[in-house]
Amino acid sequence: MAEAFAAVEIIAAKRDRHELSDAQIDWVVDAYTRGVVADEQMSALLMAILLNGMKAREISRWTDAMINSGERMSWSALKVPTVDKHSTGGVGDKITLPLAPLVAACGAAVPQLSGRGLGHTGGTLDKLEAIPGWRASLSNAEMLNVLQDVGAVICAAGAGLAPADKKLYALRDVTATVEAIPLIASSIMSKKIAEGTSALILDVKTGSGAFMSDPKRAEELARTMVSLGTRAGVKTRALVTAMDVPLGLTAGNALEVRESVEVLSGGGPADVVELTILLAREMLDAAGVKGAKDPAHALQDGSAMDKWRAMISAQGGNPDAPLPVAREREIVKAEKSGTISSMDALKVGVSAWRLGAGRERQGEKVQAGAGIEIHGKPGEKIEAGAPLFTLHTDEAERFTRAKEALQGAVHISESGEVSPRLPLVVARIDSHDLT
């Protein structure tokens, strides 16, 4: 059967800054998924999109085409509303771990499809796999069972969900086209819309440790994604939140699980607790849960912890098992006394990655125990010689490059000055804010 279009014509149209028609978009996404359009042709089209952009209609149609490449999930069998959260990722961003069971404890169901880390941003599945026995891959029927029994599930997206995105994501990674807002937005939202949740909260990070370091670009991405979700009938809101400093006091896999359990136990670092509660309230409100328990109370009364334990157990994990500990550790000390004035999230993230907490290419194994403990944050006083970071790895030869990454990551002010920080929430966008 003859193809409806030729890939070269579509590439030329976008190269010359023309809008692609709905039919062209439908065909090129489908033909690439089928293997009719070659990688080098799609690479050229992706670069043309990065350089010349897409109109809102084109982005929406591209997203639909990716959704239509696979299955759509449905949670209509559940008796409670569904809501999900997606974060664009950062350093120490373990929020999904305490958030999913917390929201379930307050009356909504959370079908959370998560991913693995690449580069300096950690992956939720990598963190949870530090728990002995826990498994990331569940069938749709298993997901539904866990949601019915527990109310929250965190697992990998199945191969049937937006397969076009999986193929495009791998290609974007090796063709320097990851940063294109139309491609980021359609990649995230095709999976989230196909996932079938009725409400979605987006946590778009900005600052040095974020994928979108410029707050204006982060806000543009947030608006694009809220628009896509709203058009698809999913109640969507976005918070643009700070990632100029690492979240919490750990970056790494088992280290972040431990910190998440502290939050669920009613403790944990103030910034992690604040953002977890803030996002939980947004999720419950967007889902329309009537008379929901306040998330702050659910962290204190043990109900969120009960959900966490049930969720981990339901996926084969042992919530009581000791978490893996790296074989080697090294302390980085403060060189002078004073007030910590700034801490660069990106440098901390790269250091944790070099210790073995992250991967350089898809499919690599990560070390469960690798990462960084942070002993002081901006605004806190520190004495010369006191621990600033503890580095953890199974391979001592990694310490040299990890410490190189931390050069200049922390500034200590003798006068007590603290560098300006981004507010925790830089912007909040929902469908009413779209023009």
**Residues designated as active site:** 86, 165, 172, 187, 191
DSSP string, 172-184: HHHTT-TT-HHHH
Q: Kindly calculate the radius of gyration of the chain based on its CA atoms and give it in whole angstroms.
A: 22
**Coil/strand/helix, residue 123:** coil
Q: Which residues pair with 85 in a beta bridge?
A: 201
Q: Do 139 and 322 touch, CB atoms closer than 8 A? A: no
Angstrom distance (rounded) from CA 383 to CA 306: 40
Question: In terms of Cα–Cα distance, which of 336, 320, 318 is closest to 134?
Answer: 318
Q: What is the sign of the dihedral through the CA atoms of 25, 31, 33 and 37?
A: negative
Give the integer Cα–Cα distance in Å for 155 and 84: 12
Vertex 166: Cα angle to 165 and 172 (nearest 5): 80
Question: What gap in Å lies between CA 160 and CA 367, rounded to an integer?
Answer: 29
The secondary structure of residue 396, as a DSSP letter, is G
Decide: 113 and 161 in contact? Cβ < 8 Å. yes
Burial level of 298, CB count in 10 A (0-12/13-18/19+)?
A: buried
Query: What are 263's two structure tokens?
Result: 């939050």
* Dist CA 348 CA 335 (whole Å): 17
